[in-house]
């Protein structure tokens, strides 16, 4: 018997469509049909599929938070593999996602110069998801099951940082990867981007980090 997906379309800021009772094969077929594109983005969690098309506020928030992380890594003279809207799938766990941004930092040497395959590679060290509006997918559970060690969620105003502990995410005050950086530094960077422009904001961020180091 073929199950019929239950569809609920919600008019939200990020243009989300949620389908329930979706088979994994259907999810993979949609990924193949959409091909190598940045939108829409798919997330799959145990039969629930979300198709999301981001708007400007979403994309801008992700770009700036990602730039913040890249600058931190560069100023620490570390290597980085960054991925945007890359498909991360674990068929054995029935979970899959295309996060806004994902980063290999500590595990960068293990995936350098090639396409990531979660069947043999470790998950990203850090994932960013921007959710300006409500999502029906339990992103915390999804990335926890994938084994992503650090998860940043940004809703356009507030950044929440989660650390994976014993298979579950625990909210923490500061990033485990950048423990010396307070959230306020990100908020200041975002304010500077809006008020002074991105180039000036990035220059100021780099200067502040160098002074602290």
Name the band, by pLDDT with cuts 50, 70 and 90, for residue 7: very low
- One CATH from 3.40.50, 2.60.40, 1.10.760, 3.90.1570 for 56-212: 3.90.1570
Average pLDDT rounded to a whole number, residues 28-49: 91
pTM: 0.90
- The answer to whether 113 and 79 are in contact (CB under 8 A) is no
Sheet with 95-97, strands from edge to edge, namely 6-10, 16-20, 48-52, 41-45, 95-97, 88-90
Q: Which helix (H) or strand (E) holds 169?
A: strand 168-172
Per-residue model confidence as pLDDT tens digits over 127-174:
999 998 888 899 999 999 999 999 999 999 999 999 999 999 999 999
CA distance 163 to 132: 21
pLDDT of residue 149: 98
In angstroms, what CA-CA distances link 208 with 71, 74, 75, 189, 200?
11, 13, 10, 11, 12
Is residue 185 over pLDDT 50? yes
pLDDT exceeds 80 at position 38: no
Residue 47 tokens, joined: 């039969």
Kindly give the pairing relationship between strand 150-154 and strand 126-130: parallel
Please report which confidence band the pLDDT of residue 12 belongs to, taking 50, 70 and 90 as the band edges: very low
Q: Which residues of 86-116 are buried (b: 16+ CB within 10 A; e: fewer)?
A: ebbbbeeeebbbbbbbbbbbebbeebeeeeb
C-alpha span between 164 and 151 (Å, rounded): 8
Tell me which of 10-19, 36-45, 186-195 is least confident.
Answer: 10-19
């Amino acid at each position: 018997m073929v199950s019929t997906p239950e569809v609920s379309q919600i008019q939200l800021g990020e243009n989300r469509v949620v389908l329930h009772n979706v088979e994994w094969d259907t999810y993979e077929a949609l990924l193949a049909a959409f091909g190598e594109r940045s939108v829409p983005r798919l997330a799959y969690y145990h039969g629930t599929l979300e198709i999301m098309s981001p708007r400007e506020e979403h994309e801008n928030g992700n770009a700036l938070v990602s730039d913040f992380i890249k600058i931190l890594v560069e100023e620490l003279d570390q290597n980085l593999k960054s991925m945007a809207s890359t498909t991360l799938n674990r068929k054995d766990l029935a979970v899959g996602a295309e996060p806004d941004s994902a980063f290999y930092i500590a595990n960068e040497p293990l995936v350098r110069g090639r396409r990531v395959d979660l069947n043999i590679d470790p998950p990203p060290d850090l994932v960013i998801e921007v959710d300006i509006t409500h999502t029906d997918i339990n992103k915390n559970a999804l990335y926890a099951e994938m084994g992503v060690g650090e998860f940043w969620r940004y809703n356009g105003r507030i950044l929440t940082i989660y650390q994976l502990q014993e298979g579950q995410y625990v909210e923490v005050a500061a990033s485990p990867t950048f423990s010396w950086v307070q959230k306020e530094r990100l908020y200041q960077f975002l304010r500077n981007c809006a008020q002074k422009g991105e180039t000036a904001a990035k220059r100021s961020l780099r200067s502040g980090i160098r002074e602290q180091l």
